[in-house]
Structure 1
């Protein structure tokens, strides 16, 4: 049974989503004054069924949409990292992924054996922090959690186990590379699994920065993936600096880059970038920032030879859809009868065959009713 506070929260969320203030919605619902709606939203007056139906009519949403438990309206804040995506494209994709994230949240609460703190972890970063502060913070994380010379291999352990940030690999339009999502109890990172490995890892660290600094430095709902650093907002530059230092620690760079500048070729950068799990271009700029190569040397490097880290098409296969933990939860929810197959298919926007393939990809036995 849905608690009445659920309807109140949804009413407020949809009113704000439709950009209506209390006075505007009150008038449209036929109330004499704003105080009536205010009393409903604060819980001091009950919302009558007829009033709810009138509100839904004004807000132009169905009762099914309004009461959908797998909706994050009013519960989640999104920050999208995109390049030339249309507003409609982002809106449609956010609607689609919000149900998947809501399912993750619900199943995590049902099946997780790990108790999550009610206080989400944060980094000691503020809007006044400098690039030095952010870089130092990232390097300290590498040491504190023993992430090794190549931290990309341990990012999931760091963010999920230590900071309660889950990562889902999803199929995104080419114009979208990732998103950070902040909820009350967990944070979620969405990564376009069809990008190259180096880009995926960098986006993971970049979005994790937003998740762990959200209250101090709230990111915009939509962030453009700028190719021109001068036009990039300061918050995004901080996130890039954090990701760069986390994935390519200075001590590790000192250990593996012992060549003189003239010997640091495209092949050298490609090979080392693959070890760090970053793009060759990201490593190149990290080397510039650490004075391992000059900017003029970086400009002379052939960027075409560094495209896709020098790999041929087909060598960098995309990771499996979602993640192992989430798919295990899905399997358990079907096997235990917690959720019907029909409901799972609806939320994931999958066919029966696609769900079957998803379970098999994680070596899970397909339930008999599939």
Structure 2
């Protein structure tokens, strides 16, 4: 294994250990990011626009994910952006990395590194092997499409992410990967989820708007304390789609208590 991949694996596994993740997969990647003191914003940007982006504001790392995409894709995007936060923002100010696609072949070292970090964080090799041994109780050569669906549901990822990860680890070859895709396509993922009585939420969009109040608190407090000028406050709030009219209203009413619902009206 290339040295850089080994270093990435160590970083991803250290995070799982530090935050006491003892399950096979990560049940709530969104909560994990918040526990890491990274500001996470989920917003329905629109299907087939961008998957998400990561940035910094006054030293604080921010991840924005597109909740218009199906949940499995949004989960991988958040893990991918977390990789950017870990590797690509040290010492950087006002940098932004926008991802139109994630988990696809790319010539960019930065993007491939973020993808690999996300794959290891969400699907560590040891946890895959344990799940196969203790839950599926079969060899990788015996895998059927319904088994991939079970892996998908357990690790909270997409069907294609499971196959890509298994192939990457050389647990299945390219021919097996193609056969599993063909089998899935004969039924569709949703049909297989229903047949197996599994929750198919991974296949659906949530279209949620989740903006942590502390993001607004942080941006406003920096402005009110004179650490940033009003133009910088506008930049910070523009990240989450708050327009200039709403910001002007906030400026006039800055002595009043912050109302998150009013702010969200500016999206």
Residue matched to 1:293: 172
1:193 Cα offset (Å)? 1.0
Partner of 2:21: 147
1:171 is aligned to 44
Task: Normalising by structure 1, report the TM-score.
Answer: 0.50
1:252 aligns with 2:127: yes
Matched, 1:243 2:130: no
Per the TM alignment, residue 212 of structure 1 is displaced from its structure 2 partner at its CA by: 2.0
TM-score, with length taken from structure 2: 0.67
Kept in 2: contact 1:147–1:154 (CA 8 A): no
Query: Contact 2:41–2:212 (CA<8 Å) still a contact in 1?
Result: no
Alpha-carbon distance change, 253 to 221 in structure 1, aligned in 2, over 3 angstroms = closer
Deviation at 1:190, TM superposition (A): 1.2
Q: How does 1:4-83 map to 2 (within 5 A)?
A: none
Identify if the C-alpha distance between structure 1 residues 261 and 270 changes in structure 2 by more than 3 Å, giving closer, same or farther: same
- After superposition, residues 1-370 of structure 1 pair within 5 angstroms as 130-161=4-35, 163-173=36-46, 174-215=48-89, 221-225=97-101, 229=105, 231-258=106-133, 259-302=138-181, 305=184, 310-311=189-190, 315-316=200-201, 317-319=204-206, 321-323=208-210, 325-326=212-213, 337-339=256-258, 344=263, 348-349=266-267
2:80–2:102 CA contact under 8 A, matched in 1: no
C-alpha offsets along residues 16-58 of structure 1, whole Å, 9 cap, x if unaligned?
A: xxxxxxxxxxxxxxxxxxxxxxxxxxxxxxxxxxxxxxxxxxx
Distance 1:269 1:148, change over 3 A: same
Point out where structure 1 has 5 or more consecutive residues left out of the alignment.
1-127, 350-370
Following the alignment from structure 1 to structure 2, what is the Cα–Cα distance between the partners of residues 135 and 179? 22
- 2:51 is paired with a residue whose SS is strand
Deviation at 1:160, TM superposition (A): 1.5
State the Cα RMSD in Å. Answer: 3.8
In structure 2, C-alpha distance between the alignment counterparts of 1:309 and 1:345, rounded to whole Å: 37
Distance 1:180 1:337 in 2: 30
Report SS of the residue matched to 1:257.
helix
1:169–1:322 contact (8 Å) kept in structure 2: yes
Where in structure 2 are there 5+ consecutive unaligned residues? 194-198, 218-249
- Greater relative CO, 1 or 2 (CA 8 Å, sep 6+): 2
3-state SS of paired residue (2:171): coil
Question: Using a 3 Å threshold, how does the CA distance of structure 1 residues 189 and 205 change in structure 2: closer, same or farther?
Answer: same
The higher radius of gyration belongs to: 1
Deviation at 1:342, TM superposition (A): 9.8
